[in-house]
Amino acid sequence: MIDLHQALLRCQKEADRYRLLAEQSTDLISRHSATPEWIFIDVNPAIEPLLGYKAEDIIGTSGYALFHPQDADNLKNRSDSVIYRDGLYTNTYRYRHKLGHYIWFETTSRTIRDEQGNPLEVICVSRDVTERELAQQATRRLAKVVEASSDMILFCQYNTQTFTYLNEAAQRTLNTSGTTARKQLKQLFTDRLYQDAVLPALQVAAIEGNWHGAIPMALPDDSLRVAELREIIAHRDRNDRTLVDYYTLIGRDVTARKQAEQQYKRHQNEMAHMSRLLSVGEMATELAHEINQPLATILNYSNGTLRQIEEQQLQTATQTQRALELISRQAHRAAEIIRRIRRFVQRTEVQSCPFKINECCREVTEFLHQDARDQQVRFQFELDDSNPVVQGDRVQVEQVLLNLLRNAIEAYSTLNTDAAVITLITRAMPQAIQISVCDQACGIKPEMMAQLFEPFMTSKVNGLGMGLSISRSLIESHGGQLWAESDGKSGSCFHFKLPLRSTQ
């Protein structure tokens, strides 16, 4: 009897310890009936901070009624949120709080059965996993965004630079499968770009956390796409924040943009060519007169020489040689005028090459010599002594100068003055050359300045309003700027900058 009494005391103490443990637990420990209603039989005090109910309020009520409607039958349907192992079920679901909102629970339950295997009750241990589930939901949403992104997103290991993930856009652009085929970062670039651009970008990202820029990718030869690496994000090691764990690379398929740029350039070149043709057409009278002068001179020298031969006035070869030299000089002059016209109007692809801007300025004024003389306009030069060299398409730069100079000549057409001067200025700067065309005519009205470079904006009766718009486009395509300054009364200056040719 004494041994039995002591055994009962030990069992009682053991039960008290388990109850104390259950009462002190922050997890919800509950017992339920094995019926479909899942009636609460017993519950520890953790129910109040978790669900807002007191133990005495919840015991005897249906636990099934508190499930979110979409999660109530998880166990019955063996949903993906249910895990079974060694007689234990773990279910993740939403459960209603006393205040009406739902929290996420993760419950591990076991069914207690009698000797015949009939269910007696269900014991559950539940914990609040709301933060975890919301974080996972956010991760899943982010993963969907990453997968659906039109940008290329790639995960790359820090040490091996091997890709561990490519989103759909990256797989499509790189023409590779989801397995990434153990592709490495350096395979996406030429050797030179990888050494000179990619590795320094990785170093910047490792130090500063991210890098932004644009590095062209070397796609397969049969690919019709064009892509660029735009951003690198360095992710730190969770345990050692000084170490980089992996990189996220963000690229972009710029095929459509490049095609649009090429189309725009073709359109721009066509417009520029048309503008040159129109300019020459408008100058046809002046150009014909300028060509006619050397031709008339050749004719006069030829007739005079023939007459002298007929009259036997030429006694020596020296006298004939002098006449032929004069004829040859005028023929070269006529040929040079025609050469300039042909070069100016012919349709060619954009050709970037170095040229001296001062020579370019002088040549354009010679092209406009007759036009300026007809309007009694004189050119004045203030050219940089260093004779700077720029890199670009000479014909297009000449076209801009021609447009600006012709506008300046026409600005004097309404004035009655004998001192009409157009000043052409070149000034070298540290990284650029500035060219200015200035006149002292009537200036540009303030209301015109804001719309000056817009297409079809013109103050001329027969003008199309495309000259300045095309000129600005051509200068900007060279990486430069074109702008105007005027007091609105006594003159105006048009300036444009072009990058100087690199000396490296």
Output the tens digit of pLDDT for each of the chain's 504 residues.
556 656 666 666 665 565 666 677 889 999 999 888 999 999 999 999 999 999 999 999 999 999 999 998 888 887 888 888 888 999 999 999 999 999 999 999 999 998 888 999 999 999 999 999 988 888 888 888 888 888 889 999 888 888 888 888 888 888 776 554 458 888 889 899 999 999 999 999 988 989 999 999 888 766 678 888 999 999 887 777 778 888 999 998 887 777 776 776 665 566 555 665 565 655 555 566 566 666 766 776 677 777 666 666 666 666 677 667 777 776 776 676 677 666 666 656 667 788 898 998 998 888 777 778 878 888 999 999 988 888 888 888 888 888 888 888 888 877 777 778 899 999 988 888 999 999 888 877 777 776 776 755 555 545 445 677 778 888 888 888 889 888 877 788 999 999 887 644
Instruction: State the Cα–Cα distance between residues 385 and 404, nearest whole angstrom.
Output: 23
- Vertex 408: Cα angle to 406 and 410 (nearest 5): 70
C-beta separation of 471 from 403 below 8 A: yes
Handedness of CA 141, 143, 147, 152 (dihedral sign): positive
The contacts found for 200-203 with CB under 8 angstroms, 24 or more apart, are: 201/229, 201/232, 202/232, 202/247
H-helix or E-strand spanning residue 52 = none
Phi first, then psi: what are they for 477, rounded to 5°? -70, -20
CA distance 229 to 87: 52
Q: Which two tokens stand for residue 362?
A: 């002088």
Picking from 354, 366, 221, the residue whose alpha carbon sits closest to that of residue 286 is 366
pLDDT recorded at residue 52: 93
Please give the helix or strand (H or E) that residue 221 lies within, else none. Answer: none
Q: Which residues contact 60 (CB under 8 A, 6 or more apart)?
A: 39, 40
Residue 330 near residue 294, CB atoms below 8 Å: yes
Buried b (16+ CB within 10 A) or exposed e, 139-149: eeeeeeebeee
| Whether the Cβ atoms of residue 401 and residue 435 lie closer than 8 Å to each other | yes
Token representation of residue 190: 């030429």
DSSP E strands in 327-431: the ranges are: 353-356, 377-382, 389-392, 420-428
List the structure tokens of 372.
């300026």
Say how many Å lie between the first and final Cα of the chain, rounded. Answer: 106
Give the DSSP letter of residue 81.
T
The pLDDT value given to residue 290 = 61
- Tokens describing residue 356: 């001296």
CB-CB contact of 340 with 369 (8 Å) = no
Q: Is the pTM of this model over 0.85?
A: no
Q: Distances in Å between the alpha carbon of 243 and those of 153, 209, 247, 309, 504?
A: 22, 11, 12, 97, 38
Q: Are 411 and 442 in contact (CB under 8 A)?
A: yes
CA angle 405, 407, 410 (to 5 degrees): 110
Query: Rounded CA gap, 402 and 264, in Å?
Result: 23
